[in-house]
Amino acid sequence: DKVLPELIEPYELRAAKLREFLEDVKPSLCYDIVPLADPFGPSVTDPDLQCLVVSEETHRGGEAVNRKRLENGLPELALYEIQLVKDPDHSQNEEEKISSSSLRQRLLGTLLQPPRQNPALPLRPYVIGLTGGTGSGKTSMAKLLGHLGAFVIDADQLGHAVYVPGGPAHEPVVAAFGAEILNKDGTINRKVLGAKVFGNQEQLKRLTDIVWPEIAQMVKERVREADAQG
C-alpha cells in the first residue's frame, strides 16, 4: 500500500525498495526493473517476454499490450490474471477491493509526523506553510484557514508585487535581463521575461536568486504584521 510519503519518493529510492522486496520474496529470480516512459514500456518491444501478469482491473490493458505486440510483429503474451482481494470492512464511499487509495483517504487529516519541538523558536506567531501543485486545493484551504482566524499571506500575490515599478525586484530584474522586458509604461512584461527564463535553468536561477529573497523578506514582514495584530 502506497501512502503519500512513498508516492513522492524519488524513483531511484522506490525502485531500490521494490528490488529489495522482490529479492526477499524470491532471491532465485533475476529482476529487471525499468522506468515506464509510456503506458506500455518494454512489454510491446521486448521479444523475450512470454507472460504478463494482470489483475481483474488491468486485463483490458493486457489485451491492449498484445494488440501492440501483434502490430510490432511480436507474439502475444500469455495473460496471467490475479484476483483482487475484497475488503470486508470498506466504508460506503470506499472501493470494495483492498486499496491503497482507501488507505490514503483514511489518513486524510492525520499528521505525517508529530510536530518537532524547537526551544529556539517562539510559540507565536505559529506559521503554517501551505504548498502544492496547480489544482491541489491551496486556495480553498487558505480560505478555510482564513475563516478560522488565520492571517493569510499569499506568496503568489507577493511575487507579483516585487515586480511592479518601485518594487524591490524591479530594478535588479531589468538590470539583469535588459530593457526589452519592459512595457511602454515601465512595467515588466512577464511573458517576455518568461520566454527568457523558462527552459533555461541558468537564466531561471538568475531570476529566482533575485526574486525569491525579496518575496521571503516580504513574507517575514507580513508575519511580523500578523503577530502585531495578535
5-84 matches 138-229 in fold: yes
Give the CATH fold of the 5-84 domain: Rossmann fold (3.40.50)
pLDDT given at position 198: 87
pLDDT less than 50: residues of the chain: none
Q: Where are the domains of the chain?
A: 5-84, 138-229
Measured CA distances, 65 to 72, 80, 213 (Å) = 11, 13, 50
pLDDT digits (tens, 9 = 90+) for 53-107: 999 889 999 999 999 999 999 999 999 999 999 988 888 888 888 888 888 888 8
Return d(Cα 204, Cα 94) in angstroms, integer. 43
Q: Which three three-digit cell numbers place residue 197?
A: 527564463
| Distant-in-sequence, close-in-space partners of 94: CB < 8 Å, separation ≥ 6 | 87, 101, 102, 105
pLDDT given at position 110: 84
pLDDT given at position 1: 57
Return d(Cα 123, Cα 166) in angstroms, integer. 35
> DSSP assignment of 214-225, as one string?
HHHHHHHHHHHH
Return d(Cα 145, Cα 139) in angstroms, integer. 10
Beta partners for residue 52, in sequence order = 79
pLDDT given at position 8: 79
Output the pTM of the full model: 0.49
pLDDT given at position 42: 93
Give the CATH superfamily of 138-229: P-loop containing nucleotide triphosphate hydrolases (3.40.50.300)
